[in-house]
Structure 1
Amino acid sequence: MSRRSLSTRESILTAAERLFAEHGITAVSHRQIGEAAGQGNNFAVGYHFGDRTALVRAILDRHAEPIERHRVRMIESIHGRGEVRDWIACLVRPLTEHLAELGSPTWFARFGAQVMTDPVLRRVVVDDAMSGVTIQRVVERLNHCLPALPVPVHLERGELARHLISHGCAERERALAEGTGRQDTWERTATGLIDAITGLWTAPVTPAGR
């Protein structure tokens, strides 16, 4: 791929991530993305990425490597002996550390939250994410720490945890972009999310019928 083509792809990805984050996945057309990316050709987005799902996946792939690098480092530091909170941190901190490294403004957290509201893309993204070796390792160890938790409750709390991470980071990113709310660091945001999700995972289970 030529340098010019790579530059065009990067411009499109940056524009698409921002527009999707600000307006929603279905509210933005390929033409609008192309214009925001400085492309005079209305078919540039389709030429480089095909359909909307492929474009969303390309944006996610763009951020996947640095997030994965943080997660690998955290898993290695635990040496397999972690407790519930340690493994939950492996779900939260790779994203918040990546967002902190990007500086401000960023759009990736809000983009991710928008994707999670789309029923088709959400399933694609969750399936892709859960197929990763490191995520599977974290989930396996988290389940090992909570052997008495019924499988349906595991699944339900995992879903709730994903929403807390996604929307919690999106709200923090929005506050940073707008200059509103508390000026917490990403480190403090991560700690708050880990506290909340640890409480979620370790909460007692109400017996059926009560």
Structure 2
Amino acid sequence: MKETKVRIVLEAEKLFSVEGIEAVSMRRISAQAGQKNNSALQYHFGGKDKLLEAILAYRMTPLNDKRLILLEVLAGEGRTGDLRGLLEAFVYPFVDFIRTNEASYYVNFLARFYSYSGSGAGFSSIDQPWMSGVLAITAEISKQLNYLPQPIVTLRLSLMGAQLIHSIAACETQIRSGQSVDLTAFTETLIDFLQGGLTQPLSPKIQSYSV
């Protein structure tokens, strides 16, 4: 990605994460990114949804590569059915990212985007190449939960994604503000929490669901 586009992407990421996606205009992003031409964003990205996609592609591509490597390791060890290993492949790249990017706003942006894209905004990232690791991991996790009714599996995976993103976003904010964070304790506790939520027996109130 060219330098000008990267500068716009990073400025948009910051503004969206702090103020919300709906609240920030393309004109504002252009000005903050030092673009004198107000149509610069339209020229480079074509609109807000394309700009959002560019932010995701810029950040998710290296994260996706790391997830795919971790999945290859699990496969090589014969552990593709290891739920904790799958969760580690999901979580570790995110945590490594905030560890090495202490001024990052990305996961906070992602938390905003998670709500925005789920509100009928008409934007779907599910078929993008940089989602392949996430899709592969969730597919394997789903197989490990096949003793549960499929609607419950789908709901639990959705809750897992929300908990993961919002928890790491809060941790990112702490790091960016200079607070001391025990990332090992945070990471392993988050994985414990996700694993427990995914595998918890059905509540008696919903045991009438059929598999």
TM-score (norm 2): 0.86
Structure 1 residue ranges, 4+ long, deviating more than 6 angstroms after superposition: none
Question: 1:201/1:123 Cα in 2 relative to 1: closer, same or farther (>3 Å)?
Answer: farther
Instruction: Flag structure 2 segments of 5+ consecutive residues without an equivalent.
Output: none
Instruction: Select which of 7, 15, 22 maps to 1:11.
Output: 7
User: 1:177 Cα deviation (Å)?
Assistant: 2.0
Tell me how many residue pairs correspond in the alignment: 202
Counting only pairs closer than 5 Å after superposition, residues 84-123 of structure 1 correspond to structure 2 as 84-101=83-100, 103-118=101-116, 119-121=119-121
Alpha-carbon separation, structure 1, partners of 2:173 and 2:127? 26
Counting only pairs closer than 5 Å after superposition, residues 146-161 of structure 1 correspond to structure 2 as 146-161=145-160
Question: 1:132/1:12 Cα in 2 relative to 1: closer, same or farther (>3 Å)?
Answer: closer
Question: 1:139/1:57 Cα in 2 relative to 1: closer, same or farther (>3 Å)?
Answer: same
| Map of 1:202 onto structure 2 | 199
Q: Which moved more, 1:49-58 or 1:79-88?
A: 79-88
How high is the sequence identity, in percent, across the aligned residues? Answer: 28
Alpha-carbon separation, structure 1, partners of 2:192 and 2:122? 25
SS of the residue 1:124 aligns to: coil
Task: Work out whether 1:184 is the aligned partner of 2:181.
Answer: yes
| Map of 2:55 onto structure 1 | 59
Preserved CA contact (<8 Å) 1:96 1:187 = no
Question: 1:198/1:192 Cα in 2 relative to 1: closer, same or farther (>3 Å)?
Answer: same
| Map of 1:140 onto structure 2 | 139
Q: Which moved more, 1:80-89 or 1:154-163?
A: 80-89
* Deviation string, structure 1 residues 31-79 (Cα, Å, up to 9, x no partner): 1111111111111111111111100000000012210121122112212
